[in-house]
Structure 1
Amino acid sequence: MEIVHLLRKVTVEFGLRQAEFAARHGMHSTDVRALICLLDAERAGTDATAGWLGAQLGLNSAGTTSVIDRLERLGHLERTRDPRDRRRVLLSVTPRAVELGRSFFGPLIDDTVAVLREFDESETAAVRRFLSAAHQAVTIVP
């Protein structure tokens, strides 16, 4: 149970940093989650649409539209027509938002990466395996 409690402590601290970032920049915590989802989609090569984002966030279409509108108004999100299907609108995080996030979360990420550099390959693999399994255990599948 000690590891479970340590993981909880880490997730609580990450949540507090996320809330601090959101408050500092006039956002709701759901807005930050949306930006994280969009950045993850970009890294994975996934097309992010409003419907996709709503499913990721567990929001209905009205709630999703509110998040998208708010993030666009703040200059953190762009909507562009899909060049392969002009009927679809794709969502992406603006470079300004990426820089804003990097300036706030960069030191935290750098410190975490530095901790991981102290682990050898097998230890890193064990951490990755544990975090992947823990994520799967807490993920709600509809």
Structure 2
Amino acid sequence: MEIVHLLRATTVELGLHSTRFANRNGMHPTDVRALIALMDAGRAGEEMTAGRLGAALGLNSAGTTALVDRLERAGHVRRVRGRRDRRQVVVEVDARAVDLGWASFGPLIERAVQLLRGYDERELAAIRGFLEGVREAAAGTE
């Protein structure tokens, strides 16, 4: 149970870090979650429509529109035509939002990467498997 409690404590600390970032930048915590989802999609080479974003965040259509409008007004995202289907409108993170996030989360990410360098491939596979399993359990997809 010690590791489960450590994971919970880590989750709480990460949530507090995210909340401080949101507060400092006049954002709602859902705005931060949206930017993370959009950046994750971008890293995976996936285009994110507003509908997909809303589904990922558990928002209805009106809530998603308000979210994207708010992020767009703040200069954090932009609506663009899809690369694969020009009829689709996709939401992309603006480079300024990435820079803003990196200023706050970069040192934490760099520290995590530094810690991971101390593990061999077998240990990394075990860590990855554990985290994927917990994420799936939390998402109810296990």
Q: Percent identity?
A: 60
Shift of 1:45: 1.4
Shift of 1:118: 1.0
SS in 1 for 2:87: strand
Specify the alignment match of 1:113 in structure 2: 113
> Within the alignment, does 1:41 sit opposite 2:41 as a pair?
yes
Give aligned pairs, total: 141
- Name the aligned partner's letter for residue 15 of structure 2: G
CA–CA distance in structure 2, aligned partners of residues 22 and 136 of structure 1 = 26
Shift of 1:83: 4.2
What are the ranges of 5 or more consecutive residues in structure 2 without an aligned counterpart? Answer: none
- Name the aligned partner's letter for residue 20 of structure 2: E
> Within the alignment, does 1:140 sit opposite 2:140 as a pair?
yes
CA–CA distance in structure 2, aligned partners of residues 100 and 91 of structure 1 = 18
1:4 and 1:69, CA in 2 relative to 1: closer, same or farther beyond 3 A? same
Counterparts of 1:1-142 in structure 2 under 5 Å?
1-140=1-140
RMSD over aligned CA atoms reads 1.0
Which of structure 1's runs of 4+ aligned residues deviate more than 4 A? none
TM-score by length of 2: 0.96
SS in 2 for 1:118: coil
CA–CA distance in structure 2, aligned partners of residues 129 and 93 of structure 1 = 29
- Name the aligned partner's letter for residue 119 of structure 1: Y
CA–CA distance in structure 1, aligned partners of residues 37 and 137 of structure 2 = 19
CA–CA distance in structure 1, aligned partners of residues 11 and 118 of structure 2 = 21
Shift of 1:113: 0.8
TM-score by length of 1: 0.96
SS in 2 for 1:87: coil
Shift of 1:84: 4.0
What are the ranges of 5 or more consecutive residues in structure 1 without an aligned counterpart? Answer: none
SS in 1 for 2:96: helix
